[in-house]
Structure 1
């Protein structure tokens, strides 16, 4: 009996992963450049596309518009195909839906690129295919629109078929987008479930705290970053709400700390977000000095 060595057969998952990885680095570099991620603070464009100024990620809010418009387009196309002679109004309505969806999809494209440019690992791979399918849907609806405009009374069976294919693409893309958020936690507030103790907890002797240095301490099991300015002390969560980066390892500029992972900037005095991609403030902590000890307690809300 002879020994036979078998090479492992690559799984489908590994094939998809390697395909995304081959293009991921280059595409992310391009995405960062296009969405302002490579600019110096305050990175206004990055913050705008991330939704920082509104306190909520912008991409999921915008995606509702093209999905709704193209859903209406598909319904109207079905109505028109059921009775073309008497339902020409439905074909014209489908044309309007296709146009609205395409315009809104441009906003979804750039906000999605801004979010995806900060992902890595499995979430980056899923995001890659999410974006690929949405891009395919955009192109399909664009060709569909052109065919509608070139057809008498905006009626085209080929345009409707392309729209149906594009609609399937956005449904699958939407499923992948949900997987990124609900399974992999992309763009979920990483401080939402941090514990909050009811009482002040001593963390460090006041004599051990130098001015202008970031100190990582623990309060109710939660990492907190502490800063001293003169006789004043400030403390916020040490976890960046955007992706969980360690703010205590970030760069301090005055009273502003920059996350070392994706460059979100927070005011240590009150936890405000000054620069995206973060959209929610860092939780604040009340600070007092008692018996030579600095004591902290999380404030209610953010």
Structure 2
């Protein structure tokens, strides 16, 4: 058994080993393995924003570098009369680089919780974005050394960098629309119109999670004294089973990636999840625990 582990590691593809090492390093930096509330990770995930932060920030460098290309084309057509275009390209490159730092930090944080096909696509996405960043960084240095209105080489590097970032954007679309990364896994859950009996009250112990079905949807129920709470049993982030998670008070932690939700209102407290879990109204009738998806969920 002691000799099997090294052989297994050698058999693992190089990119998989690289991904493992990178993900572990990122998790150390952002505090994935720390105790809740893991504020830095949640901030970079966008939990406070109610939306993944990475796709919001990525619009800025893409727009800035598109403007850079436009300004460079204008300057290349008439370099002696369009110094303003060279200056505009210089400023746009700087804006894109600064915004890209935020996109890198948020993107790597999100990627650190992926696996399988989405992890491989995400690694390629990150690679082409990194190429774009390096090309624009060199382009900025050349513009700074030669002056905003004098830099054919800097403009060419910018065009290549734009091609890289646009292809990286295409791969970002693959992550969302093909592999489902970052998609709310509870978005299409059915909602019954009436209360549905799911458990006999006498069988429900306090401070224990129960997985039940309501309108064909898995729901997790918690009893604390005479109070009952219920939310969807599916973690919105990646579909993890919340009923298998650890509870602390009325908060449950997803066993897959550590997202934390308050069971009485579904509010997400800790990332990587960014949207609340659907809440269920609970009542006791005729000795049965009955649930119905809340209209506000």
Scaled by the length of structure 1, what TM-score is found? 0.93
| Aligned Cα root-mean-square deviation (Å) | 1.1
Tell me the residue number matched to 2:264.
269
Tell me the residue number matched to 2:195.
200
Matched residues in 1 for 2:248 and 2:279: separation? 19
* Matched position secondary structure for 1:108: helix
Task: Report if the CA contact (8 A) 1:37-1:114 is conserved.
Answer: no
Are 1:238 and 2:249 an aligned pair? no
Tell me the residue number matched to 2:209.
214
Task: Report if the CA contact (8 A) 1:35-1:110 is conserved.
Answer: no
Tell me the residue number matched to 1:87.
82
Deviations 1:226-253 (CA, angstroms, capped at 9, x unpaired): 0001011000000000000000000011
Matched residues in 1 for 2:13 and 2:163: separation? 25
Matched residues in 1 for 2:99 and 2:268: separation? 27
Task: Report if the CA contact (8 A) 1:289-1:295 is conserved.
Answer: yes
Deviations 1:111-157 (CA, angstroms, capped at 9, x unpaired): 00110000000000000000011011001000000000000444200
Are 1:150 and 2:142 an aligned pair? no
Task: Report if the CA contact (8 A) 1:250-1:259 is conserved.
Answer: yes
Matched residues in 2 for 1:98 and 1:160: separation? 10
Give the 5 Å matches for 1:269-288: 269-288=264-283
From the superposition, tell whether residues 211 and 26 of structure 1 become closer, same or farther in structure 2 (CA, over 3 Å): same
Structure 1: runs of 5 or more not aligned: 1-16
Runs of 4+ in 1 over 4 A off after TM superposition: none
Matched pairs, number: 286
Are 1:294 and 2:289 an aligned pair? yes
Tell me the residue number matched to 2:156.
161
Shift of the alpha carbon at 1:38? 2.4
After the TM superposition, which of the residue ranges 221-230 and 35-44 deviates more from structure 2?
35-44
Matched residues in 2 for 1:159 and 1:19: separation? 34
* Matched position secondary structure for 1:196: coil
Shift of the alpha carbon at 1:264? 0.3
Shift of the alpha carbon at 1:61? 0.2
Tell me the residue number matched to 1:135.
130
Tell me the residue number matched to 1:180.
175
Deviations 1:197-234 (CA, angstroms, capped at 9, x unpaired): 00111001000000010000000000000000101100
